[in-house]
Structure formats: structure tokens, C-alpha cells
Amino acid sequence: MNVDFIQNDLPFLPPVSIVVPVYNGEADVPELISYLQHQTYPTEKAEYLVVDNNSRDRTVERLKSIDLRADFPLRILSQTEIQSSYAARNTGIRAARSSIIAFTDADCRPEPTWLQNLVQPFQNPEVGLVAGEIIALGPQTLLEHYAQQNKTLSQTHTLAHPFCPYGQTANLAVRREAFTKVGMFRPYLTTGGDADMCWRILRQTDWTLEFAENAIVKHRHRSTWKELYKQWRRYGESNRYLHELHGVALQPDKPVSDTVRSMGRWVVKELPVNLAKWSLGNGSMAEVLSSPISLYTSRARSIGQRESQLPDIAREIEWLPPM
């Protein structure tokens, strides 16, 4: 944080709108709202906008039945026309009353100081976006431990993107004015919309992106092979879409010979060593199986990248008029 922009000793607590898209989240929303109610941020400075995206379960009923503090500023909105988390976020942006808009997801659990830490970099008027950190939420299964071990969702990966840094919408804040300059999310895009939106702001304006490492959101990792495959296939689809929208280089497909060599190296070199460590209590099964799991996720991403095609309608951008 640049101390030149601190005008006095008063805390920096600007009005903030928090937007959360939800689809079939009846199991998640009670705990999410509990975490949001425990934010240290003053309630009179915040509004929480939960946008139901045409859920087929009891999400809305659960939201309306949650026991809220009398001063907790929750608003329940609806986006039923377009089935996309980005369209739901746009609904929240349009309804937001604040000049800073923060985003998280229904399956995230923000720590109490999340919002307060997330907004601090905005003291610098040159900052247009702030990304907070995303860490694992209590891993239980083998695949959850693997994701934690590899920091799968950490913003450090996206902030180091070779084309242009970006923040994931599980933990991101944006100046509302930025959406009036470059447009909101592409409502028909199904993946890659956070990168697309961040890149439009960073490449078309003079605003910068800052990383608030102490603004922490915990996220549940995928626990089954099916969920893991879908996650990494979607990453491949995102690669394809961002290639078509921004000219980002595609991930090269690994030849079968490379996969065979990698598996051979794992069997001959890595497996005996990691099994020995695990048997002595100095390692985990996620470490033992790390290489084959990585090959599995790499394969899923390659398939998603190769088989996907950006629909023409997904190029559309929704625009936000100035306040």
C-alpha cells in the first residue's frame, strides 16, 4: 500500500457492494451468509447482494428463511433470463449502490477481515481492481489434498498469467466506474469471464491491479474424479475462449510419448521415494499420486480446449451507464 495516499489516521472504509451469484446453492447459502454476517466491515458501509441464477432447488427459500441480524443489509435478487454466473453478477452490478463492488461465490467462506483488507488498496486512486487470496477449505479427500498441495485456486497463478494478470471472481473487487468504461461481464460467456473482464480494464484504461494477500477467502476444492475432470475441462474451454477473444496462446497438447515417459518416470523414480516417505509418516497419498493426477487434469484441459468453440453470442458485452 502506498502511504502517500493516506490522508489521515481515520480507517479507510468506503461504501462497498458485495455481489454473490448463486445457482442451486441451498446447501451453501446458510453458511455463506453466516460468514458474511461475521465480517468486521461496518454494516452501514456495506450491502450484500445475492443473485439467484434460476436455481432449481430451494436456494431462494433458504435465503429468505435465514435468521439475520436486524442491521445486516442483505438484498436477494434474481437473474432468470440467462443461465450464467456472469449474467447474475451483472444483475448485481446494476443494482449496486456503491462505487466499489466486491465479488465472491456461494461455495466460498470469507474470513472476518476479508472485506476490510480487500478494499485497502483502493486508497490509491490508480488502483481499479484488487484480488484477494483463495485458499483451501478444510481438505478431507485425496483430491482435495492434491488441490491444496498444488494451490490450485490461488490467485498467485492468475496474477502471474503470461498474457496479462487477472483476479478470479471468487475474491475480487472492482471500481464501479470501470464497468462504465469497458462494459460489464459478457453475460453469455460460461467460463473465462473474470480474465476477460480484468484484461479489458487493464488494457483499455490506466487502472492497475493490486493483490491483497491478507484478504482471504476459503474455497472448497473438488472432491470426486468427475468434479475434477469437469473443472479442468472448463479450464481448457476458458483457454479456447480467451484465445478467440484476446489472442491468448493456447496450451500445447502433450504427445502420447510424453505421457508415457512421464508415467514411466513416476513408476521408476517418484513412486518408490514417495511411498517410502508416506509409509514413514513424512508424506501424503496426494504426494504419492501427484503425477498421475496431474496427467489426468492436463488431459481434461486439453480435451476442453480442443473440443470447445466460442459461441458468437458469448462475444456480447453488457454496458453499465454512469451513476
Cα–Cα distance for residue pair 212/81, rounded to 1 Å: 34
Cα–Cα distance for residue pair 240/247, rounded to 1 Å: 9
Q: How far is CA 166 from CA 51, 132, 172, 186, in A?
A: 23, 11, 9, 16
CB count, 10 Å around CB of 277? 14
Ranges of each domain in the chain: 11-223, 243-311
The identity of residue 66, as a single letter, is I
The identity of residue 118, as a single letter, is L
**Residue 272: partners with Cβ closer than 8 Å, 6 or more residues away:** none
Compute the half-sphere exposure of residue 286: CA atoms within 13 Å on the CB side of its CA.
Answer: 14
Question: Which pLDDT value is given to residue 263?
Answer: 85
Distance of CA 177 to the CA centre of its chain: 21
CA triplet 146, 151, 152: central angle to 5 degrees? 80
The identity of residue 259, as a single letter, is T
Cα–Cα distance for residue pair 253/248, rounded to 1 Å: 15
The identity of residue 73, as a single letter, is P
**DSSP track, 189-207:** --SSHHHHHHHHHHHHSS-
The residues facing 47 across adjacent strands are 17
Q: What are phi and psi of 72, to 5 degrees?
A: -80, 120
Question: Which pLDDT value is given to residue 3?
Answer: 38
Question: Which pLDDT value is given to residue 79?
Answer: 96
Distance, first Cα to last Cα, the chain: 28
Question: Which pLDDT value is given to residue 5?
Answer: 43
Classify residue 121 by its DSSP letter. Answer: G
Answer for the pair 21, 104: CB distance below 8 angstroms, yes or no.
Answer: no
Answer for the pair 283, 277: CB distance below 8 angstroms, yes or no.
Answer: yes
Q: How far is CA 13 from CA 10, 85, 125, 230, 272, in A?
A: 9, 28, 14, 39, 54
The identity of residue 219, as a single letter, is H
- CATH number for 11-223 (one of 3.90.550.10, 2.60.200.30, 3.30.70.360, 3.40.50.720): it is 3.90.550.10
Cα–Cα distance for residue pair 22/63, rounded to 1 Å: 11
Distance of CA 275 to the CA centre of its chain: 34
At 150, list the grid cell.
498444488
Question: Which pLDDT value is given to residue 4?
Answer: 43
Classify residue 253 by its DSSP letter. Answer: P
Q: How far is CA 24 from CA 18, 59, 126, 193, 303, in A?
A: 19, 6, 38, 20, 27
Query: Mean pLDDT in each 10-residue stretch from start to end of the chain (323 residues)?
Result: 47 96 94 96 96 94 90 94 96 97 96 97 97 90 88 93 96 97 96 97 97 95 91 95 95 81 86 85 87 93 94 95 76
At 193, list the grid cell.
469471464
